[in-house]
């Protein structure tokens, strides 16, 4: 925790200290409203993923605009949002271990909580714990739809799990989680479309197998920012879970848009400053690995054609400059992070600006909530 704040409400954007995480409120609000309008008009529930922002103020705004609730990735992350008053949270992960299951059920006494399963032992643990606490909890079966990560791998396994859940007194079977994370970053729209068509086929096969047992499948949920309109228009998915669309990082912006895709605006930036200009062709920023995640590539230098971010170390970001660069020592440089989720996790606060003025400062309250 730094001993002083990078900014105060009312400051001009030029007064913000560096490095700082900046949210363009106008672009952010347009992104949220545009996707909400698109999903609502098609009768699809929007449940945005809060792992992207980890910020209760953002979750509240998303719900105000029309989201049915939020997703979280960890039980401790969900706890932060329950404490903030969010009442409908889907933890899109398997919850394993006596302590985590107990924590999830404690949250389920205060809010509607859903979790994933992909193995009968997980279901058995949830049956035992929920019965002991006499606390209902929503259960979704995760289906491996081609990503090769978590998820039941056969239709028979999915049907068996659904039957096991359906018979349990405190487990509410809510449907299927059918998320293909890799497809979100396929650059060509044809690749994304082909992959999501295969996802839909697997999702429908799982749904039909469960319905043949006389069990209703209320929801098929999934999707991310890169493919969200494909699932929304599929007539298979009735809930979608994108997260990064509110910020639009550099990596997602690299995707080529297909017919029907929405165009989201960059809304998340890192304000940095030139702290060294050792040669004509090189400048160094005060924003390195502790200011921006580089797992999906280097940050994009925003609205400058004379500088490229080429290398990051702990506290430094190296820029390669063109021969005619006008960048000077002390100049501010705005960066678009390569991957918004882990970048947000590096900061305590989000400085929200409108018309070049700090309008609000929001706590990234779920930062580091990894249990």
**Rounded distance between C-alpha atoms, residue 170 and residue 256, angstroms:** 45
Q: For residue 247, give the nearest of 45, 37, 89, 50 by alpha carbon.
A: 50
Q: What is the pLDDT of residues 112-160, one digit of tens each?
A: 999 999 999 999 999 999 999 999 999 999 999 999 999 999 999 999 9
Q: What is the pLDDT of residue 4?
A: 87
**pLDDT surpassing 90 at residue 295:** yes
Q: Which residues of 334-343 are buried (b: 16+ CB within 10 A; e: fewer)?
A: bbbbbbbbbb
Q: What is the pLDDT of residues 200-232, one digit of tens each?
A: 999 999 999 999 999 999 999 999 999 999 999
Residues in CB range of 22: below 8 A, 6 or more apart:
13, 16, 268, 269, 270, 271, 334, 350, 351, 352, 353
The number of beta carbons lying within 10 Å of the beta carbon of residue 223 is 30
Evaluate if pTM is beyond 0.75: yes
Taking 3-state DSSP, the helix, strand and coil percentages for the chain, each rounded to the nearest 5, stand at: 30, 25, 45
Residue 142 bridge partners (DSSP): 177
| All domains of the chain in start order, with CATH | 13-21+265-363 (2.40.37.20), 25-249 (3.20.20.10)
- Are the C-beta atoms of residues 70 and 54 closer than 8 Å to each other? no
Q: What is the pLDDT of residues 167-211, one digit of tens each?
A: 999 999 999 999 999 999 999 999 999 999 999 999 999 999 999
Residues in CB range of 263: below 8 A, 6 or more apart:
257
Q: Per the omega criterion (within 30 degrees of 0), is the bond before 122 cis?
A: no
């Amino acid at each position: 925790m730094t001993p002083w704040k990078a900014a105060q409400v009312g400051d001009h954007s030029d007064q913000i200290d560096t490095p700082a995480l900046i949210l363009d409120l106008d672009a952010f609000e347009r992104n949220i409203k545009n996707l909400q309008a698109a999903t609502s008009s098609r009768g699809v529930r929007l449940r945005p993923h809060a792992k992207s922002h980890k910020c209760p103020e953002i979750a509240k705004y998303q719900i105000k605009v029309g989201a049915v609730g939020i997703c979280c990735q960890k039980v401790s992350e969900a706890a932060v949002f329950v404490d903030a008053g969010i009442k409908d949270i889907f933890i899109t992960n398997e919850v394993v271990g006596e302590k985590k299951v107990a924590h999830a059920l404690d949250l389920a006494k205060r809010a509607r909580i859903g979790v994933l399963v992909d193995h009968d032992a997980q279901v058995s643990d949830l049956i035992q714990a929920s019965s002991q606490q006499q606390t209902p909890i929503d259960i979704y079966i995760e289906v491996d739809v081609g990503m090769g990560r978590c998820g039941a791998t056969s239709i028979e396994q999915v049907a068996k799990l659904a039957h096991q859940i359906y018979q349990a007194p405190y487990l509410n079977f809510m449907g299927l989680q059918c998320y293909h994370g890799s497809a979100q970053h396929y650059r060509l729209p044809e690749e994304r479309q082909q992959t999501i068509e295969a996802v839909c086929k697997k999702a429908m096969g799982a749904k039909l197998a469960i319905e043949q047992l006389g069990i209703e499948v209320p929801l098929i949920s999934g999707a991310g920012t890169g493919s969200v309109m494909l699932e929304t228009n599929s007539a298979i998915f009735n809930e979608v879970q994108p997260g990064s669309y509110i910020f639009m990082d550099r990596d997602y912006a690299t995707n080529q848009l297909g017919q029907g895709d929405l165009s989201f605006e960059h809304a998340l930036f890192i304000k940095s400053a030139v702290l060294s200009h050792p040669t004509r062709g090189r400048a160094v920023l005060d924003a390195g690995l502790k200011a921006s995640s580089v797992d999906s590539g280097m940050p994009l230098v925003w609205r400058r054609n004379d500088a490229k971010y080429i290398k990051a170390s702990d506290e430094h970001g190296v820029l390669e400059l063109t021969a005619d660069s006008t960048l000077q020592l002390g100049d501010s440089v705005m960066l678009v992070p390569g991957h918004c989720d882990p970048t947000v996790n590096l900061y305590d606060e989000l400085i929200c600006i409108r018309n070049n003025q700090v309008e609000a400062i929001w706590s990234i309250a779920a930062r580091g909530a990894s249990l």
